[in-house]
C-alpha cells in the first residue's frame, strides 16, 4: 500500500504535536502522584527532634521580615532560626538584628567575606549550619513565607518515612504580569528537562532534584557528605545536594508543598529572563544539552502548529486544531495548579517566544561561563 507524502507529513505532525502533548498529560498525572510524599493526616511522632531553620539572605531588606516572621511563628516546639546576612549592601543586617532582639527563637550570623572557590549562597548556608544545634537542618530562601505547620510537616514526613532529605515544591506567587505568565511555564519546562516525575525513584540514582526554597536534611547526613562544602562552587547547590545523596544510596525526596511554602520569584521581564535562565543553566551544571533539548521541543512540538495551520492541507489543519486545544487545556491545568489564572494559557503563542529568550539566555551563560546574580559575578566551573 502506497502512502502519499502528505499522509506521512500528517502522521509525523500528529506524533510530534498532539502525540507529545498526550504523553505530557500522562506525565502530569503520574508526576502529581509520585510527588505526593506527605501523609494525610500527618502522624504524631513520639519525640520531635530539635530543628534549626537556616535562612541565607543577601540584600533582602524589603522581604526578609515577612520571611522570618513566618518561620518564628512555626508550631514546632524545639526550633531555632538562624538568619545569615551574606555581605548585604542594604539594610538586611540591621533588619535581622532588630528582629533577633524581639524573638528568642531567632539569632543572626553576619558573613563578611567570601572564601576562594565558594559561591555566596553555599558559603552563607555553611556558616548557618556551623552554629546550628538541630538534628534536622531546614534551609529556606529569604523570599519565601511558610505556613505555620510547614516545618512540622517536613520533619514528620522525613522521620516517619525515613527520608534523608525532604524538599517541597513551593507555590510561586506572581508579583507582576511577566512572572505570573512565565513562572508556571518555566515550572513545566523544569519538570520535563530534569525528569521530576522520576526524582523519587530509587531505581534511577542519576535523577534527583530539590527546590532550594525549602530543603530539610538530617544533620548527620549533611555532615556525612561534607555539608555545603561539597557543593561550594555550584550555582545549583540545591539540586546537587539531592544528587549527591541519591548517588550514595540515601533517600532524598521531592514533594508538593504548594500549601506550605510560598515564594515570590521575579518582577519585570528582564528579571524573569535572567533569573530563570540562571536556574536552568545552574541545575544543568553549566552544560547546554538540556537547554538545547528544550529549545528543540519548543520548535518541534509547539511552534509547528503555525506552518501546519497556515500552509497545510485539511488534515494538517485539523490536527493543528486538536494540537492547539490540547496544548491550551493542559497549560491551563498547569497554570491553575500553580495558583495562577488559567486564562493565561491562551497566551502560549507569546509566552513560548519569551521561553525561547530564557533558553537563549541560559545558553549564553553556559557558553560564556559567567553568571551574575544579586550584584555578584561568578565563573561557572
Cβ atoms 210, 282 nearer than 8 A: no
- The residue that leads in pLDDT, 232 or 174, is 232
pLDDT of residue 190: 93
Q: Would you state the pLDDT for residue 338?
A: 80
Per the prediction, the chain carries an average pLDDT of: 92
Alpha-helical regions (H) of the chain: 5-14, 20-34, 64-72, 92-102, 120-130, 150-161, 177-193, 219-224, 237-247, 269-283, 289-301, 305-311, 314-337, 348-368
Nearest Cα residue to 145 out of 76, 66, 77 = 66
What's the pLDDT band for 109 if we cut at 50, 70, 90? Answer: very high
Query: If you average pLDDT over residues 91-96, what whole number do you get?
Result: 95
| Residue 164 pLDDT grade (very low, low, confident, very high; cuts 50, 70, 90) | very high
pLDDT at 172: 86
What is the pLDDT, as a whole number, of residue 381?
64
Question: pLDDT tens digit string along 307-334?
Answer: 999 988 889 999 999 999 999 999 998 8
pLDDT band at 1 (very low <50, low <70, confident <90, very high): very low
Q: What is the mean pLDDT of residues 42-47?
A: 92
Model confidence at 2, pLDDT cuts 50, 70, 90, reads: very low
Would you mind telling me the total number of residues written for the chain in this entry?
Answer: 381
Check residue 174 and give its pLDDT.
Answer: 78
Q: Could you tell me the CA-to-CA distances from 18 to 24, 319, 327, 349 in Å, in that order?
A: 10, 7, 8, 16
Highest mean pLDDT: which range of 195-199, 202-206, 223-227: 223-227
β-strand pairing of 165-169 with 261-264: unpaired
CB atoms within 10 A of CB 75: 11
For residue 226, name the pLDDT band (cuts at 50, 70, 90).
very high
Question: Looking at domain 51-268, which of 3.40.50.300, 3.40.50.720, 3.40.190.10, 3.90.550.10 is its CATH number?
Answer: 3.90.550.10
* Average pLDDT over every residue of 288-306: 94
Q: Where are the domains of the chain?
A: 5-33+287-368, 51-268
Angle 83-87-89 from CA coordinates, rounded to 5°: 110
pLDDT (0 to 100) of residue 375: 64
The SS3 of residue 194 is coil
Which residues lie across from 216 on neighbouring strands? 138, 166
Q: What are 243-287's pLDDT values in tens digits?
A: 999 999 999 999 999 999 999 878 789 989 999 999 999 999 889
Q: What is the pLDDT of residue 374?
A: 65
* CA dist., res. 54 & res. 215, Å (int): 10
Amino acid at each position: 500500500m502506497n502512502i502519499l507524502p502528505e499522509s506521512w507529513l500528517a502522521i509525523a505532525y500528529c506524533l510530534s504535536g498532539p502525540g507529545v502533548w498526550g504523553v505530557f498529560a500522562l506525565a502530569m498525572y503520574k508526576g502529581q502522584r509520585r510527588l505526593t510524599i506527605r501523609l494525610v493526616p500527618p502522624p504524631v511522632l513520639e519525640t520531635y527532634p530539635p530543628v534549626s531553620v537556616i535562612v541565607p539572605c543577601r540584600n533582602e531588606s524589603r522581604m526578609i521580615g515577612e520571611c522570618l516572621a513566618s518561620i518564628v511563628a512555626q508550631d514546632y516546639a524545639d526550633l531555632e532560626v538562624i538568619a545569615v546576612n551574606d555581605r548585604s549592601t542594604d539594610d538586611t543586617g540591621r533588619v535581622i538584628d532588630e528582629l533577633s532582639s524581639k524573638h528568642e527563637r531567632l539569632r543572626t550570623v553576619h558573613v563578611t567575606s567570601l572564601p576562594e572557590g565558594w559561591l555566596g549562597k553555599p558559603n552563607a548556608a555553611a556558616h548557618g549550619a556551623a552554629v546550628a544545634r538541630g538534628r534536622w537542618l531546614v534551609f529556606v530562601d529569604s523570599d519565601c513565607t511558610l505556613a505555620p505547620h510547614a516545618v512540622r510537616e517536613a520533619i514528620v514526613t522525613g522521620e516517619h518515612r525515613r527520608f534523608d532529605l525532604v524538599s517541597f515544591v513551593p507555590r510561586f506567587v506572581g508579583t507582576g504580569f511577566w512572572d505570573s505568565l512565565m513562572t508556571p511555564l518555566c515550572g513545566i519546562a523544569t519538570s520535563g528537562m530534569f525528569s521530576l516525575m522520576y526524582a523519587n525513584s530509587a531505581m534511577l540514582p542519576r535523577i534527583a532534584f530539590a527546590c532550594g526554597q525549602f530543603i530539610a536534611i538530617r544533620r548527620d547526613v549533611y555532615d556525612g557528605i561534607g555539608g555545603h562544602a561539597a557543593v561550594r562552587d555550584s550555582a545549583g547547590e540545591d539540586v546537587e545536594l539531592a544528587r549527591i545523596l541519591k548517588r550514595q544510596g540515601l533517600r532524598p525526596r521531592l514533594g508538593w508543598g504548594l500549601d506550605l511554602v510560598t515564594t515570590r520569584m521575579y518582577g519585570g521581564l528582564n528579571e524573569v529572563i535572567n533569573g530563570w535562565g540562571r536556574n536552568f543553566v545552574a541545575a544543568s551544571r553549566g552544560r547546554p544539552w538540556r537547554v538545547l533539548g528544550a529549545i528543540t521541543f519548543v520548535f518541534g512540538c509547539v511552534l509547528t502548529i503555525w506552518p501546519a495551520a497556515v500552509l497545510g492541507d485539511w488534515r494538517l489543519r485539523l490536527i493543528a486544531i486538536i494540537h492547539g486545544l490540547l496544548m491550551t487545556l493542559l497549560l491551563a491545568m498547569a497554570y491553575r495548579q500553580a495558583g495562577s489564572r488559567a486564562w493565561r494559557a491562551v497566551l502560549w503563542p507569546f509566552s513560548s517566544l519569551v521561553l525561547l529568550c530564557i533558553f537563549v539566555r541560559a545558553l549564553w551563560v553556559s557558553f560564556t561561563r559567567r553568571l551574575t546574580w544579586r550584584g555578584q559575578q561568578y565563573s561557572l566551573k
